[in-house]
Amino acid sequence: MSSPSKSSTTFQTSFLHPRFWGIWIVYGILRLVGFLPYKAKIRFGETLGLLLFYIAGSRKNRAMKNIEIAFPDKKADDIKLLLKEHFKSLGVGLIEISITAWGQHRKSETQNELKYFSYHGLEHVNNNKEHGILLLVPHFTTMEMSGLMLSFVMDYSPIYRKHDNPLLEYLITKARTRNITSTIQKKVSPLLNTDTKIMLKALRSNQVLWIAPDQKYNGQGSIDVPFFNKPAPTNPGITKLAKLGHAKVIPCFTRRNGVRYEMYFHAPLENFPSGNDYEDILRLHKLYEDEIRQNPSQYLWVHNRWSL
């Protein structure tokens, strides 16, 4: 299987250039937060999120517009409350990077974050190991912890887009890549979203690939499919991966409840792909919408989903 390029996993002396100092300062803050007790990290994240709520500009406005599109019947006060809760969740999501990068799972096989995790429907993955699996994980603020949770129960490869900033690419790849170094955690091997042949090879070898296809896509082959009743430019590539890789598509959602996390695996989607990309993506959007309505504050509303 393909792995991240050497330049993504090797420290470069150019990373010490002053243009990267801002990133190093944020990295240093996250590293210091990593020394806090687990529950204190979560509280710190909520406080950080509230601070972001009051100082954020364009991102806050974008999130508000997105929420207004998704929930047109909500009153202004309810939208503002949801927006504030979203930023608290967003702050926790940022701090969760310190957990995935330097958490107790890196140090102990018995005293670690696993005690805060619960899994529901894991049999849907375990009962389909004779197939490749596309694990459908939309963009919620729990993305980092979802990756950590999965690493306790299965080998998998997250499909990701290479970051334009080389230092961020190095730091993110380092944090998310895990080799088998303990008896409780599995192997995590990121795959670039441009490595289509490698993805298909992995799926045909009955491996699990994490895919998050719910963001805006204006590239070649983009189709407009309603999301909360408003057309959203979408990449239908998941249908082709599923077909050519003979893969099962299993939706997976994570909910943060205080300091605990619940991960839900759905049954594999039947008759997917159907041959109609529009209808298939519309079906996925309905799944996202159902989960978002149950857990609205934790969806990534700051993303420009509708080309606003």
State residue 2's pLDDT score: 43
State residue 208's pLDDT score: 97
Closest by Cα among 157, 198, 203 to 178 = 157
- With a cut of 70, which residues of the chain have pLDDT below it? 1-9, 175-184, 307-308
CB atoms within 10 A of CB 103: 18
- Strands 132-136 and 223-227, by their bridges, are unpaired
- Strands 247-257 and 260-265, by their bridges, are antiparallel
First-to-last C-alpha distance (Å) of the chain: 38
- Residue type for 179, please? N
Domain regions of the chain by residue span: 6-298
pTM attached to this predicted model: 0.90
Tokens describing residue 291: 């989960």
State residue 189's pLDDT score: 83
Closest by Cα among 295, 251, 299 to 120 = 251
- Residue type for 280, please? D
